[in-house]
Amino acid sequence: MDPKVLKQRIDSLNPLTHRALREALLTEYRRATGESEPDRPQDSTACYVFAKVFQQAVDKVSPRYIEGTFEYLKRALPDLDAKIDQATDRVEATWQAGLEGKASIVEFQEAVTEWSRLQLEAIRVFLETQSGLIP
């Protein structure tokens, strides 16, 4: 994923409602740009496990990302864009609930899987549009 686009997506997330998601994406951004991680205390085991699950999903989506996908989505497919926003909200809410002991890693994995599926669907649709397969 283009680091500039990733940073724009990160900046568009509300830090009060998407704290954990923003942190995971910022880690990916720092990795892509070579920035060093800020010094932080060690996360709890649960936080680490949830972050690892989300990082794996980001690693799956990032290499497939095509610049312009999200801009196209907002303009041409607002329903899919809204579904991605809802999936992002569900990932964040499930992550937070999991850290509070109110959601399992399985529930979180399901939310992340849906988020990843929608991201890949958006990329596929954009690619087909760019290839002329979809008018």
The string of pLDDT tens digits covering residues 63-72 is 898 888 988 9
Phi and psi dihedrals of 15, rounded to 5?
Answer: -65, -20
Q: Using CA atoms, how far apart are residues 105 and 87, in angstroms rounded to an integer?
A: 16
Q: Is the pTM of this model over 0.75?
A: no
Tens digits of residue pLDDT in 86-110: 999 999 999 988 888 888 889 999 9
Per-residue confidence (pLDDT) for residue 57, from 0 to 100: 93
Tens digits of residue pLDDT in 28-38: 778 778 777 65
| Short-list 116, 133, 113, 117, CA closest to 125 | 133
Q: How many CA atoms lie within 13 A of 93 on its CB side?
A: 9
Name residue 40's amino acid.
R
Average pLDDT over residues 15-38: 72
Give the count of beta carbons closer than 10 Å to the beta carbon of residue 80. Answer: 16
